[in-house]
Structure 1
Amino acid sequence: MAQHGDPYPVVTVDAVGIVVCHNDQAGGVLARIAVGAELAGIAPTWLVEAHLRHVSGAGERSSAWAAGQIGGRRVKALAGPVVDGEVTWWLVGDSAPAGAAQELARERARAGLLQELTSDLLASMNVERCTAVTVQRAARNLADAAVIVGTGDGRSFPVTRCTAHGPVEQERIALNPGQLPGLAEALLGLPAVSSRWIDPQQVPSWAMPDGFVDDAADVGSVVVVPLPGHGVPVGCLILLRRRQQATFTPGEESFARLFAARAGAALSIARSHALQAHITEVLMHDLLPPDLGRVDGICFSARYRASVAGERVGGDFYDLYPAATPGGETVAVLGDVCGKGLEAAVTAGKMRVALQALLPFAADHTRLLTLLNGVLLSSDRSPFVTLVLATAVREEARVRLRVSSAGHPAPLIVRATGQVEEARTAGTLIGVFADIEFKTAEVALQPGDVCLLFSDGITEARGGPLGNVMFGEDRLRTVLAQCAGMPAEVVTERVQMIVAQWVGEGRHDDMAVLAIGAPHDNRLTTVNESTPRR
């Protein structure tokens, strides 16, 4: 992009040949130049053709230089790299100083370096990788070695360093920013200190990559520049040169600050992304369903598939609360929140928290569900919920269940003989009416029997040969009859697999199943017995 401070005429032109910007010097070469003007109308044919070659990609295979006549004198034009379809041209007349071509070539190389740096950093949102790429680019193009000191906690700081051709070293160390002049100021985002004011022999050992020099006496020049972020600094960049190398010039220090500004912006974005990912992971942890297994001699298993591909949570939910005392009832619940996606998942998370708080009332299903209904009614934005509440206790070889439905499909019991029964329970959905009623069913599971709780996403799943036929309860009963005598985990896996095959690639609602089984063995506990993750 053209800058007013450039010593030579500079003009930036977009992909279709429109002038985007130019400096004052360009007006002395192209008399009719103006922002928005067509290049073809103000410049000679040779420059227009060179621009078209460059934006089309042909310029990458030929020289970046073009030359011709403008106003009766010979002019050379140097093309910068294509950035967002725009090309910046530096115009040099034959009367320009002898070193103009070399200086412009150097400026072009720097512009290319900044473009490559931006491209590399934006290709990854990983903070460590972005930091490593930055020090590698800086060491190879700006100095003999580079170090990045990130923002720390006041006692320790992340440090990344490397030489021009050496490996990247990353570690977190305790350091005193006051050991190196300009470091403490750079970490605060203050302007860089000129390299002339930094004694190279004051460079601490932690700032020198392995194999760079034997000691600080071999360091010839040091530049310390801040890495500005979005609102707050993200660290600082330290550039090191050996004693036998030329010291940093003011122009090189100025470019180092520009380099650091580009890197700091990308690192700031990466850190923001990492922070958001961490926050999401922490919040998601409490929304994820628990891992189930055998609890107090009772087998529990569940499967879940969200309506949105790739999501891990949704409006369906299940949970398990092991008995607090020996011989007590373990509480299992499977529910369905009206809605889909993350918003429904958040409501499902609130339901699980409320259920856990109401566990002392679990012995009385009606009271617990009535209290839960009151919780939902008192909330302004909570949608209605259907659920099945089950309490289970092991009694010798069998498992005794009490099951209550709140507007939810009644559970199905699969006997070891292959018979499939429906639990005789019914009730009002919660979160809508103040007056609600429930009927609790008593179920006895003999060894090999399984009680399956499921959401309507299972029976209402549409698919099959015609692609729009509901799976239905009859098919579910047939699948369960084929699972007679199978462990709870096999039952849930097979049901989920058959329904997934029925749906295929079609759209579907959240689907959840939870099985409670009486094992064939008589073990009440085992050393390998799993406990639900809370």
Structure 2
Amino acid sequence: MVTVSSWLRAPCPALVVDAAGAVHGMNDAAKSLVPEQVSPSQWRHGESVHIAERSYTTHRVDNEDDSVTWWLLDETELLLERERAALLSRVSSALMTSLNPERCMTVVAEMAAEHLADEVLVIAPRSGDGHPVTRCRRDEAPTYELRHVDVEAVIGLSEALRGFPPVPSRWIDPAAAPEWLAGDVSSIVVTPLPGHGVPAGALILMRRDAHFTEDEEAFARLFASRAGVAISAASLFTQQAVITERLTNDLLPPTLRRYEHVELAGRYRAAADTERVGGDFYDVHELPDDELFVVLGDVCGKGLDAAAQTGKVRTAVHALLQVVTDHDQMLHALNQALLTTDKSRFITTVVGTVRPVDEGLRVKLTSGGHLPPLIVRANGEVEAARTKGTLVGILPRIMTSTDEVVLAPGDSCLLYTDGITEAHGGPLGDEEFGEERLRRALTACGGMPAEALVEHVHMLAAQWVGQNEHDDMAVLSITAPRRRSS
């Protein structure tokens, strides 16, 4: 039998139960813990029992007189740590599924309301007209809004939004909190949401009928650190996506407007299906006296580097048009600009000036090492413009020649890049589309509106390529509208 000295003064609660299942002895630790109505006869070795809001693991020791000593090992803290570790793991897993800041704030608010507090606010740094705020009460759906927040009205909130350590909850008087924050609450915790070098916001926890312990506040900070990193990552991703979208839109060919005397249409397809931009481009600029200046070109290379160069070329052309519209002067100036800025990338380009005349449209065309534009007559005849020149941006001086054509009503001038003619595909998958095949296809396009013409050419090239790799493709049509009969 267990001796008095071995168990009465032990720190772990212990009970002695006789063969009939009655408790006939407890040590000092058990007397202050175990209620008189306890029934050890229902216990099983190694199971968990809950006594006085704590959890214990039962350990049975059989004695020589058929009695049993039950030792109770407190596992409350261990279970709490396991529960908290599991919560942090769930938080991380849940937040990894989204790179949307609002969604991340919602997940954080929901999980904090379920496990940490009765009511939760997640406040992000000020953006535009206010602070993004997600509020969630336990067992209720979260709400999200952009609102004006007086951060100085809540002790610790201004500091938390700047990333400073939190103040203890005992320093925050719920009665002094603004009405928008707290109603009938008894304790408030304000802790920062640390991000990637920049604070991601603040987490506010509120309880109605209980106060936060120091241990709970410490865990709230740990919870906030996981949440802040995820919210910060989502915010940075969103900012980068917005920047990328704006820059990409600036690099894409423009949306062509309608003109009374000229039909314009263009199509563009980047070499990589995962990228929207590449090395082909076209632009249209308005000149005095109803004239238009058009440019289509192809930068050496493809992908984002080539797209960045197209942006430089388009900007240079726009700037040069303020002082020169003559084709030769324009291409020579552009050649010098490219030689000065980047000798590793040259371009081929064709520029044109379009002027309405009584006969239809008078189009002046000059090539800088580019494929000559094709003239598609209304009756289906196809001819190449008589213009040629040297590459732009590779030699100190370039040679150019200019052609001038008149487009009667229904005629079109088609500008295109070699991504169309050099597209490999066809029945065997390795045949080049070629200029001759393009010309034959255009004989059936006489009199087509500009939109229909570029769509048809774009479709032919796409069908020819199929799933094969291809270069950037750009096509631009200048069409003289058919005159309405009076």
TM-score band by shorter chain is: 0.7 to 0.9
Map 1:459-474; keep pairs closer than 5 Å.
Answer: 459-474=421-436
Contact 1:318 1:335 in 2 (8 A): yes
The superposition leaves residues 459-490 of structure 1 with CA deviations (integer Å, 9 ceiling, x where unpaired) of 00000011000000111011111111110110
Map 1:158-307; keep pairs closer than 5 Å.
Answer: 158-208=132-182, 216=183, 218-242=184-208, 245-307=209-271
The superposition leaves residues 160-204 of structure 1 with CA deviations (integer Å, 9 ceiling, x where unpaired) of 211112222222222322211221222222222222221121222
Cα 1:260–1:520, aligned 2, differ >3 Å: closer, same or farther? same
| SS in structure 2 of the partner of residue 230 of structure 1 | coil
The superposition leaves residues 124-157 of structure 1 with CA deviations (integer Å, 9 ceiling, x where unpaired) of 1111110111111111111111001222269842
| SS in structure 2 of the partner of residue 344 of structure 1 | helix
Q: 1:261: how far off?
A: 0.6
Cα 1:272–1:503, aligned 2, differ >3 Å: closer, same or farther? same
| SS in structure 2 of the partner of residue 207 of structure 1 | coil
Most deviating of 197-206 and 305-314:
197-206
| SS in structure 2 of the partner of residue 335 of structure 1 | strand
Q: 1:521: how far off?
A: 2.5
- The code of the aligned residue for 1:278 comes to V
CA–CA distance in 1 between the matches of 2:248 and 2:79? 52
Map 1:407-426; keep pairs closer than 5 Å.
Answer: 407-426=369-388
Equivalent position of 1:104 in the other structure: 78
Map 1:112-511; keep pairs closer than 5 Å.
Answer: 112-152=86-126, 156-208=130-182, 216=183, 218-242=184-208, 245-323=209-287, 325=288, 327-360=289-322, 363-511=325-473
Contact 1:448 1:520 in 2 (8 A): yes
CA–CA distance in 2 between the matches of 1:356 and 1:120? 49
Cα 1:498–1:261, aligned 2, differ >3 Å: closer, same or farther? same
Contact 2:58 2:73 in 1 (8 A): no
The superposition leaves residues 313-336 of structure 1 with CA deviations (integer Å, 9 ceiling, x where unpaired) of 10111111022x2x3420111100
The superposition leaves residues 372-407 of structure 1 with CA deviations (integer Å, 9 ceiling, x where unpaired) of 111111124551100010110111350110000110
Q: 1:246: how far off?
A: 2.5
- The code of the aligned residue for 2:201 comes to G
Normalising by structure 2, we get a TM-score of 0.83
Most deviating of 102-111 and 134-143:
102-111
Contact 1:331 1:362 in 2 (8 A): no
Cα 1:176–1:363, aligned 2, differ >3 Å: closer, same or farther? closer
Q: 1:222: how far off?
A: 1.0
Q: 1:92: how far off?
A: 7.8
| SS in structure 1 of the partner of residue 440 of structure 2 | helix
* Over 6 Å off, 4+ runs: 74-77
CA–CA distance in 1 between the matches of 2:265 and 2:129? 47
Contact 1:396 1:522 in 2 (8 A): no
The superposition leaves residues 248-272 of structure 1 with CA deviations (integer Å, 9 ceiling, x where unpaired) of 2222111111100100111111111
Contact 1:397 1:518 in 2 (8 A): no
Contact 1:335 1:385 in 2 (8 A): yes
Contact 2:343 2:394 in 1 (8 A): no
Q: 1:296: how far off?
A: 4.3
| SS in structure 1 of the partner of residue 75 of structure 2 | helix
The superposition leaves residues 282-334 of structure 1 with CA deviations (integer Å, 9 ceiling, x where unpaired) of 222221110114224101100011100131110111111022x2x34201111
The superposition leaves residues 181-233 of structure 1 with CA deviations (integer Å, 9 ceiling, x where unpaired) of 2212222222222222211212222224xxxxxxx3x2121111111112222
- The code of the aligned residue for 1:263 comes to A
CA–CA distance in 2 between the matches of 1:419 and 1:154? 58
The superposition leaves residues 10-56 of structure 1 with CA deviations (integer Å, 9 ceiling, x where unpaired) of xxxxxxxxxxxxxxxxxxxxxxxxxxxxxxxxxxxxxxxxxxxxxxx
CA–CA distance in 1 between the matches of 2:389 and 2:415? 15
CA–CA distance in 2 between the matches of 1:100 and 1:478? 89
Runs of 5+ unmatched residues, structure 2: 1-44, 49-55, 61-69
| SS in structure 2 of the partner of residue 232 of structure 1 | coil
Q: 1:237: how far off?
A: 0.6
Runs of 5+ unmatched residues, structure 1: 1-73, 78-90, 209-215, 524-534
Contact 1:463 1:469 in 2 (8 A): yes
Contact 1:295 1:322 in 2 (8 A): no
Q: 1:339: how far off?
A: 0.5
CA–CA distance in 2 between the matches of 1:76 and 1:353? 76
CA–CA distance in 2 between the matches of 1:246 and 1:288? 59
CA–CA distance in 1 between the matches of 2:306 and 2:419? 14
Cα 1:342–1:92, aligned 2, differ >3 Å: closer, same or farther? farther
Percentage of pairs with the same residue: 50
CA–CA distance in 1 between the matches of 2:301 and 2:460? 24
Q: 1:362: how far off?
A: 5.0
CA–CA distance in 2 between the matches of 1:442 and 1:416? 18
Normalising by structure 1, we get a TM-score of 0.76
Question: How many pairs were matched up?
Answer: 426
- The code of the aligned residue for 1:369 comes to L
Cα 1:513–1:164, aligned 2, differ >3 Å: closer, same or farther? same
Cα 1:139–1:99, aligned 2, differ >3 Å: closer, same or farther? farther
- The structure having more radius of gyration, on CA atoms, is 2
CA–CA distance in 2 between the matches of 1:296 and 1:97? 96
Cα 1:176–1:219, aligned 2, differ >3 Å: closer, same or farther? same
Contact 1:398 1:518 in 2 (8 A): yes
Across the aligned residues of Structure 1 and Structure 2, the Cα RMSD in angstroms comes to 2.3
